[in-house]
Amino acid sequence: MSDVERWETEVRVARRALREAEDSLGDARLDAAPVKVGDVVRTARGELIRVTNIVTRSHGWLDMSGNPKKQNDEWSKAVRNVYGGWELVEGADGRVARPPEEG
C-alpha cells in the first residue's frame, strides 16, 4: 500500500468517525432540548404551534417547525417555522420550558 493509499484510508476512517460523533452530539442536543416533537408552543405573535420537527444547530439554538392551530381548534396541515420568543404551552409530560437566550 502506497503512502497516498494509506493516507486516503486514514482520512476515510477519520471522516466516518467524525460523522458518527456529530450524529451522537446532535442526538444529545435533541435529548437536552427544552421542547420535544408533539409539544405545543406559543409564538411571540400568540400563534399556537404543535411542534413536528426540531433541528439543533452547532451554536445550540433550535430550528423548529410545526402545525398551527386553526380557529376551529383543529391542527392545520400547513407547516410554520417557529422563531425566537416561543413558550411551552402544553408538554406531553407536563414540563415547562423557556427558549434559549439569544445573543
For residue 37, is it within any domain? yes
d(CA 73, CA 36): 21
The pLDDT score that the predictor gives to residue 81 is 92
For residue 69, is it within any domain? yes
Domain assignment of residue 30, given as a range: 3-90
- Within 8 A by CB and 6+ apart from 82, the residues are 41, 43, 49, 51, 64, 65, 66
What are the pLDDT tens digits along the chain (103 aa)?
Answer: 899 999 999 999 999 999 999 889 888 888 888 888 999 999 988 999 999 999 887 777 788 999 999 999 999 999 999 987 888 888 866 666 555 555 4
pTM: 0.70
For residue 49, is it within any domain? yes
Indicate the number of domains in the chain.
1
The pLDDT score that the predictor gives to residue 35 is 86
